[in-house]
Structure 1
């Protein structure tokens, strides 16, 4: 992966009708800004119940967007990352429909994870209550088969997302088939979506257990044999990120978004500095994503302390809601059919109260901390909460999933804030200092001083949080 900023986007929400339009955008309005492109699910269909994360056919590009030849052409312009959805497939898939029709006689029967696969002798209340849940309720759905019998199937997320038995021969073959298709299609990197939930075992939390680490390691090796790098998406305690980073190419720095908010809201960089002292260097840094702003990544987990104290973390969440004029509350928690209990749904710009100076400082911090920065398409334009889309769909995360028109793209690239960010992004992409050594200079808690040194090349970031002032200096 190039040590340059990446863009993460849906194709059809960035003023594009298809992959060819996206290719044109990269060669014109966004030229030079990104060294990599993470395309959010482009499989058939892109407009499922979970915005493409419930593929009916994981190996078919939605025909409305193009085909694999189009993606191959785009891969010649920029490195492509794609999602490998390891935990589940759509209930509408050919495989699951065949299972409902033929039951045990289906050639796909072993592909799906049933309740009795994990609990052959039944489950106790303690077994069920120990299962880690990102969403309310138990992770099972009863399905009626064609012969009149019923089966309890694992559905970790929604009833349309049927969990795969990744340890079965059919599950192994299914995932390997997707990897083969990606290799032929020009995909250079994959994100393992929902990988933390892939392994279920009786008597455990069924989330990030020892066997999960083994599974991720084995799948990573298979991908690397095909020249594909691996990014793992895990929302969990920060020590889990540190551990998983030892086994894969890249992990997300999901702690950074809230730590930056803490730094700016409280005029204190202590917690951020503590994290930067131990954070994985093989990280993809983010401020915003297609999901919400994660809270669990900095929070306490049982007796394990978090990166931010509970009281301060609660104040940060409340400040986000206040800055967004309460709109984020309409999209978070039990509101708006939202099922992600550990996230606040809000654009990062709105979380900062639409303060352009604070937003620019936040991006500067992201671009200067260790890791490869990834910028979400809404964040690229300092997008505001899309309340119209939220009302239309009643899906909490849609508040930060705006559909940009071509006209909006043209308007946004002419805005002063975008031009200022563009200049900063070009510096991050081209200055040799960022291929050198990271230095966190010791300062008072209201100051942040970061320096990169690469032999005779250097770049420095100075932030005075009391004054909310920023200086960037670098060698010519």
Structure 2
């Protein structure tokens, strides 16, 4: 196959408080030891507060930078030489928000009552058991919590947790709220907007309330509003791969969430067929990841959970084997942080660092990263993955939150030590190659069979190529320089 993709450099994904300690210190890392490796950075929630019940994804005030991390001026400074991506948390706000607390106190008399979604807004004529069972939710149970608002007991929509109160995005108050968030972000130079949990944003009676036609229309409108302010939009959706392909045609960027489990499957089995198939059909306007602040998704490669009968990129049996292999490779640590074993917002992701998911095998890990960097799209490298971090079992034990296994708080000393490790140094070199070599703005081809895979980029006389032996987890990266000489980076065992 052949395709043409614009040049797009790597981006870092990081919590400011867990890497550096502030927005300014993240900027210092990008301009210092990581100079030349990244074109941009996805700053995970830095709003007030960044350390709420869901690591910042439950904002009390989505329009303010938490002063412990910096100011909008710091964000604008970072945006002066790096593309900054920030989260627009579309679906909900914190239950501690002054807006919601006023509704709790005053009920319908509150001027903010229209901002928050209750059951009767979606089902004004009542709701049946069938309607409730049809609603798709990323964790067991119903997305509703009984609460007293003013002097009335109400069922409040809480898709994720009772601490995260869903917004009525169809209401004038909801629309005004979202506009205020967009204005705050783009006003500080944020040029990439990540729509967090947008698939759950619109609730329509009689549907799954997830990725319905009304949701698509909402995404279209929100994308247009962001684009009118000079920003591009990344949509975050974990679902069957056909939905990723569908949504990709409507927005600027989608995540390639199928890539992480497919890379693991490839390196576990030595069979490249499933990965090669995905490379043939996947959207090109994708952000590629192997790890993020969330877990390693498996729903993205499995059979459809909403429309039974649609096969996945992997069979149900292959997905089950994949999950068990992650648990084995991580010496059982991922099992302690996943599904029913810890406080999770879902049970369809495995919580584990990607390095541990590969048994801390350095050759397989670098091969996985090379695969990510050669796949078309914008590669984003999570801060723990950049530093080849291992499962933080102490943090997991302290918080009981499964995802914290992959959300380590790095000290300055730990960062310096990790950057000095040849494993991280090689990865940073590969990032610089991906960012600087002109071939990556040219044509992409992929070939191979069995355990062998070859990815090639070409632009005129310039080329870069990755050869993978999945059976042994080894790889070779080769590229030509401007003078025609060829450079090689071989990733082998030992």
TM over 0.5: yes
Task: Note the C-alpha offset of 1:384.
Answer: 0.3
1:450 to 2:455 alignment: yes
How many Å separate the matches in 2 of 1:455 and 1:275? 27
Task: Note the C-alpha offset of 1:362.
Answer: 0.2
Match of residue 195 from structure 1? 198
Among 434, 437, 442, the residue aligned to 1:428: 434
Among 259, 262, 273, the residue aligned to 2:262: 259
- String of CA shifts for 1:4-34, please: whole Å, max 9, x gaps: 00000100101x2322222211111211111
Match of residue 210 from structure 1? 213
Structure-1-length-normalised TM-score: 0.98
Match of residue 228 from structure 1? 231
1:41 to 2:32 alignment: no
Task: Note the C-alpha offset of 1:2.
Answer: 6.7
Task: Note the C-alpha offset of 1:131.
Answer: 0.4
- String of CA shifts for 1:108-153, please: whole Å, max 9, x gaps: 111111100011121111101000010111100111123x321111
Structure 1 ranges of 4+ moved more than 4 A: none
Among 449, 466, 471, the residue aligned to 2:471: 466
1:344 to 2:350 alignment: yes
How many Å separate the matches in 2 of 1:149 and 1:332? 37
How many Å separate the matches in 1 of 2:264 and 2:69? 36
Match of residue 313 from structure 1? 319
How many Å separate the matches in 1 of 2:227 and 2:137? 31
Q: Is the 8 A contact 1:2 1:35 kept in 2?
A: no
How many Å separate the matches in 2 of 1:159 and 1:232? 24
Match of residue 246 from structure 1? 249
* 1:150-189 correspondence to structure 2 within 5 Å: 150-189=153-192
Q: Is the 8 A contact 1:368 1:461 kept in 2?
A: yes
Match of residue 489 from structure 2? none
Structure-2-length-normalised TM-score: 0.94
Among 14, 29, 51, the residue aligned to 1:9: 14
How many Å separate the matches in 1 of 2:477 and 2:107? 63
Match of residue 140 from structure 1? 144
Q: Is the 8 A contact 2:13 2:41 kept in 1?
A: yes
Could you say what secondary structure the match of 2:64 adopts?
strand
1:387 to 2:368 alignment: no
1:361 to 2:367 alignment: yes
Match of residue 414 from structure 2? 408
1:269 to 2:275 alignment: no
* 1:29-68 correspondence to structure 2 within 5 Å: 29-68=33-72
How many Å separate the matches in 2 of 1:416 and 1:295? 31
Q: Is the 8 A contact 2:203 2:210 kept in 1?
A: yes
RMSD: 1.0
- String of CA shifts for 1:363-384, please: whole Å, max 9, x gaps: 0000001111000000001110
Q: Which has the higher contact order (CA 8 A, sep 6+)?
A: 2
How many Å separate the matches in 1 of 2:247 and 2:256? 12
Match of residue 487 from structure 2? none
How many Å separate the matches in 1 of 2:114 and 2:70? 32
Match of residue 130 from structure 1? 134
How many Å separate the matches in 2 of 1:339 and 1:222? 29
Could you say what secondary structure the match of 2:339 adopts?
coil
Question: What are structure 2's unaligned runs of at least 5 residues?
Answer: 1-5, 482-494
Match of residue 93 from structure 2? 89
Among 108, 113, 118, the residue aligned to 2:112: 108
Q: How many residues align?
A: 473
How many Å separate the matches in 2 of 1:303 and 1:351? 30
Q: Is the 8 A contact 2:257 2:289 kept in 1?
A: yes
Q: Is the 8 A contact 1:2 1:36 kept in 2?
A: no
